[in-house]
A and B are shown apart, each in its own frame.
Chain A
Amino acid sequence: MRIHRITALITRHLYLYRRSLPRLMEIFYWPFLDLVVWGFITLYLMKFQGQLPGFVTFFLGALILWDVLFRSQQGITISFLEEIWARNLMNLFASPLTPGEFLMATMAMSVFKVTAVSAVMAIAALAFYSYNVFMIGLWLFPFVLNLIVAGWIIGILTTSLIMRFGQEAEVLAWGMVFLFQPISCVFYPLEVLPRWLQPVAWANPATHIFEGMRAVLLQGMFPVMHVVWAIGLNLFYLAAMIAFFHYTFRICQERGLLVRVGE
């Protein structure tokens, strides 16, 4: 693995962010609007706080953390789609750039994106709703790191499917992560889910993070086991998805799909 090839790809995307309105909107406009809308909902629900104890305390925090996962996934998938739209995939994969280096660069871009979006949302939440996301305390850091990795996992899966099935699968870039949202228990505890779905949710690392967040905010508990489970599941799924990406890349080489993605 060569650092200069990874930084070359990161440089390419950073050049793009300097002048691409849609990419800038992804960081500033959409997350800010999300926060504004959910913030108003939270203010409204605060009127019923007696009937929903503790609910509003974590609502905005859950939104911000869910956005971490969402933007992390988008950072990987949109970076790949940018290359398809620019008809630049052949240039990249006829260069010495390896599939692993490509993934490292897109993961780095997703961290950049998450950092920028999280800063925008955290500042806006504090400024407009006096909501301090750091009330979660030091647990915020392992939560955020695990959600970034969970986003990577979905992003790598989505990218692999788009590479394999072409532009028809492009819609997955925006839709795939929402397939996981109901079983991530972002805004409700796991016990709300039907019994048969709960084991599926437990196998999702994001569920452990959001359950952990509720444990910190509502019960003042230290969610060590949730974080351990999240790390373990993330490492397992990440290894599996990286292997799947490499496998899909080989399939695409055999079937001549790398040169036809985007047609």
Chain B
Amino acid sequence: MASPIVQVRNLTKRFDAFTAVDDISFEIYPGEILGLLGPNGAGKTTTIQMLLGLITPTAGSVRMFGLDLDTHRETILSQINFSSTYISMPYSLTVEENLRVVAKLYGIADVGRHVDDVVKKLEMEEFRKKLTRRLSSGQMTRLTLAKAILTEPKILFLDEPTASLDPDIAHKIRALLKEVRRSSRLSMLYTSHNMREMQEMSDRIIFLQRGKIVAEGTPEEIVARYGQADLEEVFIKLARG
């Protein structure tokens, strides 16, 4: 088996007396989609934010590409990206301007071609000249996803990437992510509250509850282990303790 591209060991984050993430360890392998499940407040977003270098862990380590995140931040961050419903993009810039800025930030050569490619892939042609403040929530979701894949990362962190998207576009986005994964061995850490989506997308799943990993395995293994009909029922069972 290939070496993991992401290695998280004993990751912990405490904010004063509150423990948001409690001694979790996991790996992500090249080309793998790891689903991150858990109820609200379980520690999913804090975990992702530690992997993005936005929050310093209280304990534990994060390694990507064999490098420690704390000491090789620039090298690692230039090869990863993320999309989240919690972020926006400068609303006084157009969609195209925002993407051009991101491309320059990550040192992408041939900015025009890369922006054209990603606009085409995500069917954003009709609103590429639109001011970001005038986008619908679905269009904004597509923009943040576009900025994530524009930089051709090796690892993507996707925090509810298809929230606010209609089923047609959501399906196309999932197909696109799978195609990108297939063609470039892109690894992903994927969160969603859509259990069917998680079951479809994830190779493996880890379930967080109150900061700890309480279940880990393929979607089928987890469903079988808990004797439930599907992942949604497993989620409800685990979330209710």
Contacts and interface: CB of A to CB of B under 8 A. Distances in A.
A140 interface: no
Contacts of B106: 95-96
Interface stretch (A84-92, A129-137, A150-158, A190-198): A84-92
Contact of B56 (A15, A83, A97, A250): A250
What is the size category of the interface that chain B forms with chain A?
20 to 34
Contacts of A19: 92
A7 B49 contact: no
A255 B74 contact: no
Query: What bracket does the count of chain A residues touching chain B fall in?
Result: 20 to 34
Given A88-B88, A259-B55, A15 B101 contact: yes
A19 B130 CA distance: 13
A87 B88 contact: yes
A82 to B, nearest CB: 7
Interface in A4-45: 4-5, 7-9, 11-12, 15-16, 19-20
Contacts of B107: 2, 4-5
Given A82-B90, A86-B88, A86-B91, A95 B54 contact: no
A19 B77 CA distance: 31
Interface string A81-117: 0110011101111111110000000000000000000
B46 A256 contact: yes
B155 to A, nearest CB: 12
Contacts of B104: 4-5, 7-8, 11
A36 to B, nearest CB: 28
Interface in B92-126: 92-93, 97, 100-102, 104-107
A258 interface: yes
A7 B180 CA distance: 29
A259 B49 contact: yes
A83 to B, nearest CB: 8
A253 B54 contact: yes
Contacts of B53: 93-94, 253
Nearest to A95: B105
Most buried by B among A20, A86, A88, A95: A95
Nearest to A4: B107
Contacts of B55: 253-254, 256, 258-259
A91 B89 contact: yes
A57 B92 CA distance: 42
B84 interface: yes
Interface of A: 2, 4-5, 7-9, 11-12, 15-16, 19-20, 82-83, 86-88, 90-98, 250, 253-256, 258-259
